[in-house]
Amino acid sequence: MEFIKAVIKDKKLIWQLGRNDFKNRFANTSLGAIWGFLQPFVFMLTYAIVFQYILKTGSSGNIPYAVWFFPGMAMWQWINDSIMSASNSIRTYSYLVKKVVFPVDIIPMISIVASSFVGLFLILIATILCIIYKYMPNILLLLYVVIAAYCFIIAFTRFTSAITTVVPDFANLLGIAMQLFFWFTPVIWNLNMLVEHPILAKIMRCTPFTYLVTTFRQVFIGENIVFAEHGLYTLVFWIITIIMFVWGNAVFKRTKKDFADVL
């Protein structure tokens, strides 16, 4: 496939531009890239304090709230930042689109790489915190959820980056949608609250966001979703991801000829 070939061929270029993208986000500040790590960490810490000590939100069972909360929030922060930045990437790099020889297909990957620095940092922080609480990670499951997250982000942004480029208002709609996804995904609330609504709970588990957030928690605690019901939710996740990629790739290929005209 053209996109996969382009990513493999230009992997060094993607890495270099992605690293520069991350540095340039904070180029005019005295602390530089430190802000990129500090801001989301403080955001996560604030949420943890508010929901644990002020709103008295509990975790699942006897699990410490920090062990339950930080993995879920770290995964969400990474997904959200990657989707929003990659979706706007072609407009951000409009000067590259107008270069005839530049492979436009790889531009969203540049933003995904840039967002990975903070995303993987947050995942590392969540992992260290869980280890401090003596919840050891399942390394194979950790690798799996990172790969699954990358696959979903790439599939999702193949569509959103193309549509945002030709229809600028879609960026605002996507921002609203991601806010809704945040509140409807069990990041700060747990699925046990839906125990009296089993059908709704099953639908929620079928959403890719819930699957990724819950799977990362499963790396440390026993919130089984990967193998639940004979792997039903894992099968649904990969079916949705593959369909999104195929559809998004088709939309991207059909619209990219118009990118230079609308930028």
Angle at 248 between CA 245 and CA 254, to 5 degrees: 135
Is pLDDT above 80 for 142?
Answer: yes
pLDDT 10s digits, 51-75: 766 766 665 567 888 888 889 999 9
pLDDT of residue 83: 95
Is pLDDT above 80 for 44?
Answer: no
pLDDT of residue 181: 93
Domain ranges of the chain: 2-262
Is pLDDT above 80 for 195?
Answer: no
For residues 106 and 125, what is the distance between their CA atoms, to the nearest angstrom?
29
Rounded to two decimals, what is the model's pTM? 0.89
Ranges of H-type helices in 133-227 = 139-166, 169-184, 198-205, 208-218
pLDDT 10s digits, 88-132: 999 888 888 876 677 888 899 999 999 999 889 889 998 998 898
